[in-house]
Amino acid sequence: METPSIESGRLRLRGWRREDFDPFAALRGSPEDQAYTGGPVSRERAWTEFCAKAGEWTVQDLGPLMSFVHPDNQASRAVAERLGAVVEGQGRLNGEPRLIYRHAGPEKAKG
């Protein structure tokens, strides 16, 4: 299965690429940026996470695009909702609560 993509005027959600790793590692290593994810991780741990995420769609046949957003992260919630995502449920990630958003397919996504 091909990873779905959604694009708006200011944001593109797409599958992982090798050139995405350095920015991903910098983001995962930043204490400020990881306030809602359990804290920063090493570059080696970031590589493991990156590879797992890159293969997830194919291995698990995940289907629609999902977002896991901390309930207090109003900016991320607003982006998901502007893109047409709806809350499908609640869960936990790294011991923290998450809202689970399901994004519309590319044909229904808002731009």
Residue 108 within a domain: no
86-90, 91-95, 100-104: segment of lowest average pLDDT: 91-95
What is the reported pLDDT for 63?
61
Q: Which of 1, 4, 21, 2 is nearest to 12 (CA)?
A: 4
- Average pLDDT over every residue of 15-20: 85
* 36 Rama sector, left if φ>0, alpha if ψ -120 to 50, beta otherwise: alpha
Domain extent at residue 88:
6-102
Q: Is residue 22 in a domain?
A: yes
What is the total count of domains within the chain? Answer: 1
Instruction: Please state at what angle helix 21-28 crosses helix 43-60, rounded to 10 degrees.
Output: 120
At 57-90, the pLDDT tens digits run: 667 666 667 788 999 999 999 988 988 899 988 9
Binned at pLDDT 50, 70 and 90, residue 36 comes out as confident
Span 13-40, mean pLDDT? 88
**What is the CATH number for 80?**
3.40.630.30
Residue 4 has pLDDT above 80, yes or no: no
